[in-house]
Amino acid sequence: MPTRKTAIWKRLGKTIGYQFTQSYVRRFSERHSVDVLLDVDLYMQDYLGKYPSEKGSSSAPFDLAKMIDRGEWPPPPAPPAPPPALMPPVPLGLSPINFSGDSLVDEMPVLIQNLVAHRLQGTEICTDFAIAGALATVAACAGNRLRVSAWGDTYLANDYFLLVGETGTSFKSSVLHRVRQVLSDAADGVIAPDEGSWERLVTHMEDHPGCIWLKDELAGLLGEIKGRDYMRGFREMILTLHNHAGVYRRGVMRHMYAVNNPALTLLTTIQPFVLGEELVTGRHIEAGLLNRFLIVYGKGAPAKWLRIDDGRALGARIVERLRRISDSGVTEVEASHLEDGANEWRGREIEEFGDYGEAVARRASSHAIKLAAIFQAAEQWPKERIDDRWLYVAMGLLGRWFRSAAELLATVHIKQAREIERRDLLRFVERSKNGGRTRAEMGKFMQVSVRQLDDHLDALIERGDLRAWTDDDGSMHWRAAIVP
């Protein structure tokens, strides 16, 4: 049998595009029987066809094995459509559009598919940024009128989306620009004031309790919260309003404002290294600020997307559909039947997503309910309950985002007191036009003592980020080991 197992793992490695170690194989064998391994080998091709993002992922055998154990693979036939009396269809004026080639997007509501395609066309934006923008757009239009019951509480169709990417290459700001443009045409009053204090935001929300706040570069706000007394209330407000059914009261300049069922959606951006410095801190992790954000990491598409021939007409149909959502009445719907599925990762976040799994996925269940409600609003305004299929799509998207976010945090989290200075020194060396920097140049840039500079250089050389280089004339330079 060991010979047969070896052949199976070798075949799986070729299929997935990942080389499995002996410790990995041993860990899998401790959790799953040989019969499950045989089924994983049998179904892996079909599984990757349905979930292409698992290609090259070490978690693919475990993910498929869990689905097999739960009886979820092979996938059961699609459930019959709900009776018309429960959820009457709403004319969309839109057609499914397989634009991105992303199988998960193809399972999303038609409106989301069209919003994604409309944002991607002619750009180099990554698909996940477009998905986040589409979800934030629908959430803003749904406002506080969609109220979902689960775990004995009420959840609103709002969420916080944080786009993480390098400035100038990820095009994250253009996603905010398009969301603003579309919502300006689709719904009145849903865009909160761009700048200003938390007092200005709560004043706006008294008249528009369901709204979206678009903030380019969150770092500025985090710095103000940390450094200015009058902005410290903003942090507590963001923590509270992620989900706050009922009346939210806040005193501003001797006036008490009351916001009924506030549903604040945030769509904001940040650079990866700033995320590690400003948001991945013990205070923000323990207080729950970090895991209230859905961290969406993107680097930009490898090539420019094609253009849609009737882009203007498609945009007009999207706006019309969003107007119908924004004009819908208050609806209270049931989601208690989704609780078990939404709790799939509870207590196992680190096992599923790595060392930073708990930091990003601790609120996975509430995020799942919120996204399922947003998907439902995008497809057709519900009458009694959220369709099960939208939780399935939400969990697929969250798994993808959580895995990517946990991997990102592992690389950007500043754990050592002087690591920020070393990172700045490395970036200074990398920006050299002639490929290196002298000690004098680095000392002038860093403004530190000779001993501190030596400490930084020794640390960067030891871990392989820098290397010393002696020119033909005997002068010494320091260069980046890997030039970006």
Q: Under a CB-based contact definition with an 8 Å cutoff, are residues 459 and 480 in contact? A: no
Give the distance from CA 99 to its chain's centroid.
21
Query: Which span out of 208-212, 419-423, 469-473, 480-484 was modeled with the highest average pLDDT?
Result: 208-212
Task: For residue range 329-388, list pLDDT tens digits in order.
Answer: 999 999 999 999 999 999 999 999 999 899 899 999 999 999 999 999 999 998 889 999
Task: Judge: domain 103-412, CATH 3.40.50.
Answer: yes
Q: Where are the domains of the chain?
A: 2-69, 103-412, 419-480
Q: Under a CB-based contact definition with an 8 Å cutoff, are residues 115 and 129 in contact? A: no
In sequence order, what DSSP letters do the residues of 352-402 get, joined into one string? HH-TTHHHHHTTHHHHHHHHHHHHHHHH---SSB--HHHHHHHHHHHHHHH
In sequence order, what DSSP letters do the residues of 217-231 get, joined into one string? -HHHHHHHHHH-GGG
Task: Judge: domain 419-480, CATH 3.10.28.10.
Answer: no
What lies within 8 Å, CB to CB, of 271 at 6+ separation is 164, 165, 166, 167, 217, 219
Task: For residue range 206-219, list pLDDT tens digits in order.
Answer: 899 999 999 988 87
- Model pLDDT, residue 362: 92
Beta-carbon count within 10 A of 228 CB = 11
* C-alpha to C-alpha distance for 161 and 236, rounded to whole angstroms: 18
- Model pLDDT, residue 85: 39
pTM (2 d.p.): 0.69
- Model pLDDT, residue 2: 53
Task: For residue range 243-289, list pLDDT tens digits in order.
Answer: 998 898 876 666 777 889 999 999 999 988 888 777 776 555 666 78
